[in-house]
A and B are shown apart, each in its own frame.
Chain A
C-alpha cells in the first residue's frame, strides 16, 4: 500500500496584484516617504515583494496633523451612527476581499494560508463588525453618560498578525471617535496598505486612518509625537518598556500588549487527545510567533511519558513548508533576525542540558525555516523556560500537585495567558483563579474573539483589547 502523499495544493496568488513600490497613506492619499524605502520580502522564498516607503519624523508629523484635522473637523463631530456605518462598510469590504487579504498576508508574513484564511482575516472583519456597533452606544461603555474620545491615537503593531493587530487597534479607536496614525511592522506592511485601499473604497474621510510604514525610528516618531493623545503598542516587552518610559510625564494614555511565556498545564485527568491538540495549537500555531503561545508545557508527572509520546506522534504529522499550500500547518519564520533568535535560544537550551526533539522531514532550501521543536527535561531555571522564544519551540516541565503547577505557571515575569487541561470542573476554576494571566484557556487554547478582552498581567503589558473593557481604553469620562 502506497503512503498517502498529499499532492501540492497551492492557493493561487493571482488574486493579489503586487506593486513595485508602496507609499504611505496620509490624509486619504498614498504619498512618498522621506526615508530610504525598505524592501519587504516573502520569508518563505526570499522573493522581494515590493519596495515600501519609510516615514520620517516629517511624514509622521504630516500624518498626525491629518489625523488631528480629521478628528476635530470630521470624525469627532460626525453622528456616531454614521461612524458606525463606516466601520460596518469596512467589515464588509474585508469579507468581500478576504481571499486577497489572506494571500497577501501569507506572502508577506509566511504564515500558512489556512491560518490567514480561517483565522486572521475573518477575525479582523469580525473586529470591525463588533466595534461598528459600539459607535453609537458609547454611553454604555461604563464611563458616564457622554464619554469622549481621546483624540489622535498613535498605534504600533507587530509582524505576527499584521492585519488582525491592525483591526484590534483601529476598530475600537475609530468606534470611540478617535483618529489614528498606525505604523505597521517593518517586515509585514502590505496588508495594512491594502487596508488603506479598503478605507478609500469605504469613502472613509481622509485623515481618519493614516498608515505610516517604516522601521523602529518611524514607530518612535509616532509614539513620541507631541500631538498624539493615545499610544497603543503590541510587540516586545523590551520595546514596551521604552515606550512606557517615553510617554512618562505626558498626558498620553497608554496600552501595551507585550510578550508572554504561557504555561499550558495538563493534569492527569485531562481529555488527553484534545490536550495534545491544544498543546500543538498552543505552540505551533503561526510558527509560535504568538505572544500568548503556550510555550511552557506543564504536565503532571504521572502522564508525562504518555503525553510526550502522543505529542511527538502528533507533531510528526505537522506539515511544514510552502505557506501558500492549503495543507501546510507550519509556515516560514518571519525574518532572518527572528530565525537567528530562535536558533540562539534553542542552542542555549541544548547547552543547558535539556533534551531536544524534532520530527523527521526536510525543510525547503530557500527561506527562513525552523522545525517544530520540543525540549524535555526542562526546569524552571532553564532559559528556554523563562525567555520568550517567539518561535515553534516547546519546553516541557513537570509538576506533581495542583499547587506546584500554579507556582511554576506563575513563576515568570510575564502574565499574558495560560492553559488548563482537566476534566474536573472545580479544579479548573480553582487553578484559573490562581493563575496570574490575562487570558486563561481551559480545555482549549489560542481562541480569540472581538467580544472577549485580551491582555496581560505583569510585564505582559497593561490594558485590554476586545470587549467593553478594550473599548474603554479609547475613551475618557467627560
Chain B
C-alpha cells in the first residue's frame, strides 16, 4: 500500500483577518535549513503593506478601546491555541532554523509562554507607567499610558517564531495594532501564527503578517504617514536609512539591536514603552 500523498499548504499573507495572496501575485521559494525546497511563500508588495496599514488603522479604535482585561484574555487565548499546534510550530522552526527537535520545541514553548507573559501585562501597564501627579494647585492630575497607534514591525530574521512573538506580542499588549514583516528566509511560522491569530479572538486587522523582504517593504512602512511607530529589529543594514525615513513623520522608533539578541531573556518593559504615549489629564477640584 502506498503512502498517502500529503496535502500541502498554500502559504498566504494575513491582512485584516483574511488570508489574501499578494496583490502582486508574487511568491518566492522557502527552503529549510539544509537548502531543500519547503514551500512557496507569498512575497508581499508595497501595496500589500498599504492594505495592511489600512486594516491596522481600522482595527485600532476597537483594539485600543477594549478593556485591558479583555486584551489580556485575547492574548492569553493566542497562547492557548498556539499550545495546541505546538508540534506543527516545532516542525517549522526545526526545519527553518535548523534546530534539533528538542530545541525547536523549547523555542515554541518559550513563544507560548511569552504570549502568556504579555497577556498578563495589559492591565498592569497603567499602574506601573501611569499614576496621579501631585501638582501644586487645586487640580486632579493623572497620567495614563496609551498606545501610539499602528506599529510596523520588521521581525527578526533568525528567530522565526520566538523572535517573532517577542516583537509582536508587546505591540499588541500595549493596545497598538501591528503590520509585521516576517523573516525573509523563515516565514512559515509567521503564517502558521497568523492561523492561530485568526482562530483565537484577536480581531481582524489587529495583527497583520506579511511574508517577504523587509528590505523591500520596510522603506514603504517607514515612510508611510499613517504608521505611528516602527520596530527595526529585523531591518539589518537598512536600519539607519529606515530610521532616517521614519523621522520624516516622527515615528516612534525602536532601534535594531547590534546583533539579534537571545530572545529567551526577560524583555522587561523595553519593547512596550517605545510604543506607548503618556496622556496627562488635568481637572479642577472644586464644588
Contact = CB atoms under 8 A, between A and B. Distances in A.
Q: Do chains A and B touch in the complex (CB under 8 A)?
A: yes
Interface of A: 126, 142, 237, 240-242, 244-245, 248-249, 256, 258, 428, 432, 435, 437-444, 447, 449, 451-455, 457-459, 461-462, 464, 466-469, 477
Given A256-B250, A449-B137, A453-B133, A440 B281 contact: yes
Q: Is the interface of B mostly helix, strand, loop or mixed?
A: mixed
B128 A452 contact: no
A454 B252 CA distance: 17
Nearest to B130: A469
Interface in B202-246: 228, 239-241, 243-244, 246
B62 interface: no
Nearest to A144: B268
Interface of B: 128-129, 131, 133-137, 139, 141, 143, 148, 228, 239-241, 243-244, 246-250, 252-253, 268-270, 277-284
A241 B243 contact: no
A286 B148 CA distance: 30
A440 B284 contact: no
B268 A447 contact: no
A466 B134 CA distance: 12
Contacts of B253: 248
A469 B250 contact: no
Contact of B277 (A242, A244, A256, A438): A438
A440 B247 contact: no
B243 A444 contact: no
A242 B250 CA distance: 10
Nearest to A251: B255
A442 B240 contact: no
Given A428-B283, A438-B280, 4 more contacts: A244-B246, A438-B279, A439-B281, A444-B283
Q: In this complex, which of B135, B249, B268 has the most chain A Cβ atoms within 10 angstroms of its Cβ?
A: B135
Q: Which of A428, A435, A439 has the most CB of B within 10 A?
A: A439
A240 B131 CA distance: 29
B240 to A, nearest CB: 3
Nearest to A441: B282
A116 to B, nearest CB: 18
B193 to A, nearest CB: 29
A413 B148 CA distance: 13
Contacts of B279: 432, 435, 437-440, 457
Contacts of B131: 468
A453 B250 contact: no
Contacts, number: 105
Contact of A440 (B148, B240, B250, B282): B282
Contact of A438 (B141, B247, B252, B278): B278
Nearest to B276: A469
Q: Which 5 pairs of residues, A with B, have the shortest CB-CB distance? A: A249-B240, A244-B247, A248-B243, A449-B135, A245-B247
A240 B243 CA distance: 14
A180 B181 CA distance: 39
Contacts of A256: 250
A458 B248 contact: no
A237 B129 contact: no
Nearest to A447: B282
A449 B244 contact: no
A258 B244 CA distance: 18
A244 B247 CA distance: 5
A241 B248 contact: yes
B133 A449 contact: yes
B121 to A, nearest CB: 14
A453 B278 contact: yes
A246 to B, nearest CB: 8
Contacts of A440: 279-282
B243 A439 contact: no
Contact of B141 (A142, A241, A449): A449
Q: Which of B137, B141, B280, B284 has the most CB of A within 10 A?
A: B280
A439 B244 contact: no
A13 B281 CA distance: 38
Contact of B282 (A237, A240, A444): A444
Contacts of B148: 457
A353 B240 CA distance: 45
A458 B128 CA distance: 23
